[in-house]
Structures are given as structure tokens and as C-alpha cells.
Amino acid sequence: MIRVLVVDDQALVRAGVTALLRAAGEDVAGEAADGVEAVRLAERLRPDVVLMDLRMPRLDGIEATRRILRSLPSTHVVMLTTFDDDAEVYGALRAGAAGYLLKDGDPGAMIDAVRRAARGESLLAQPVLARIVARAVQAHHDDSAAGPGGPDDPGLTPRERDVLSLVGAGLSNAEIGERLHLGVTTVKSHVAAVTEKLGLRNRVQAAVVAHRLGLVDDEFRPVR
């Protein structure tokens, strides 16, 4: 059972999301109506996943995400919003969000997103991921301090570079395991080692670095 914190400034939305999650057998540990309350409850409840509204009074979802992950780096935040704007997606992911969902999406997709987030997987379709990667790589070219960082030679082992290239191609842990003939647990260990070495929060940031290091081409294919 996954512990979830639901954050939205609309009570009706919170009630609907909470009912949906509980019907699917997940544990809604709490609800928050704004970013300030979200940070306070997250630190007290220590949820596995936070479903975070993007635009809220007092403190928006991007800044709330940044503060939560600063104190709870193992928590996974999924942005939940009616807005589909590259700049806001990019801001959320730079803050450390694991993915981005639209409120008018399929209810089953939300349940799947919570479960995938709890497993540490990316929650962006490849076209969206491609736009985010392109924006982050361009930002890095314009200003070396922009976007998730990492040295040109990050000191990864050959196997870790293989895993990073497949993360950059948008593959799940199971798909990476099939491609490299590894168990899912072993893949997760490699992904954790890569993100720790590179100082990254999630797979989306890892995908950006994979592109920056030339491990993935413009068509999202691993470069050997």
C-alpha cells in the first residue's frame, strides 16, 4: 500500500482524488489545501508520493515541491494540474517532480502514475520528455549552471552508462532489464547509483544528462 498526500486548493478535487486512490487500495495519509500546508504535512506524515497541484495560494506547487524534496529526498512528487505548458512542466521537473498529470486525464492513469512514481519511474510520455530534454540541454548550452548538472566525465562504470543511456531513451526498469538481461532489482540499484553519482533527483533529470553526455541521440535511441 502506497502512502499518498493529496494537495489541491479545491476541496472537490481533493475529495475526488482521495476517493479514487482509496478505491484502488492505496493509503491517503492526508490532504492539504495549499503549498504551506503541504510542506508541513509532508514533513509530519512522510508520504511515499505527493500528488501536488501546480497553482495554489500562499505557496505554489513548484516551490512546495522544492521544499519537500529538500527535507524528504526519497518522496516522489507528481504534479497535478489543468495546465499543459512547457515552461511550467520544466519548472516542476527542475524542482524535482517525478512527473506531470493533467486533471482531466483518465482516472486509471492517475492510479498508474502513483504506483509508477512509488517505483521511481518517469511519468512523462516521450514527446513531452523530448521537449523537456531539448529545453534543458539548450539551457545548459546558454548557461552551464542551468538544468540538472553533472560533469562531462561523471565517473560512471560501463554498466551504469548503459543503464543511463536506456533511461535517457525513456525505458522503464523492466524494459532496461530485458535489454541488458538484468533483474529489475539490479536495474534499480544501477539507477540509484547513477542518480547519486550525478546528484540527480529522478529519471527525468537523468534523461537530460544522458542526452547531454551524448548517450542518446535526437531520436531517443541509445548511442553505443
User: Can you say how many angstroms the Cα of residue 50 is from the centroid of all Cα atoms in its chain?
Assistant: 11
Per the rule left: phi > 0, alpha: psi between -120 and 50, beta: everything else, 152 is: alpha
Provide the H-helix boundaries in 24-76.
35-45, 61-71
Ordered domains of the chain (ranges, CATH):
3-123 (3.40.50.2300), 143-212 (1.10.10.10)
Strand runs labelled E in the chain: 3-7, 27-32, 49-53, 76-81, 99-102
Q: What is the amino acid identity at position 175?
A: E
pLDDT band at 137 (very low <50, low <70, confident <90, very high): low
Report the C-alpha gap between 102 and 80 in whole angstroms: 6
Residue 53, φ and ψ in degrees, nearest 5: -65, 145
The predicted-structure confidence for 68-118, as pLDDT tens digits, reads as follows: 999 998 899 998 877 666 677 778 877 888 888 878 778 888 898 899 889
Helices (H) and strands (E) in the chain, counts: 10, 5
The predicted-structure confidence for 40-81, as pLDDT tens digits, reads as follows: 999 999 999 999 998 898 999 999 999 999 999 889 999 887
The predicted-structure confidence for 6-51, as pLDDT tens digits, reads as follows: 999 999 999 999 999 999 999 999 999 999 999 999 999 999 999 9
With 60 as the cut, is the pLDDT of residue 149 above it? no
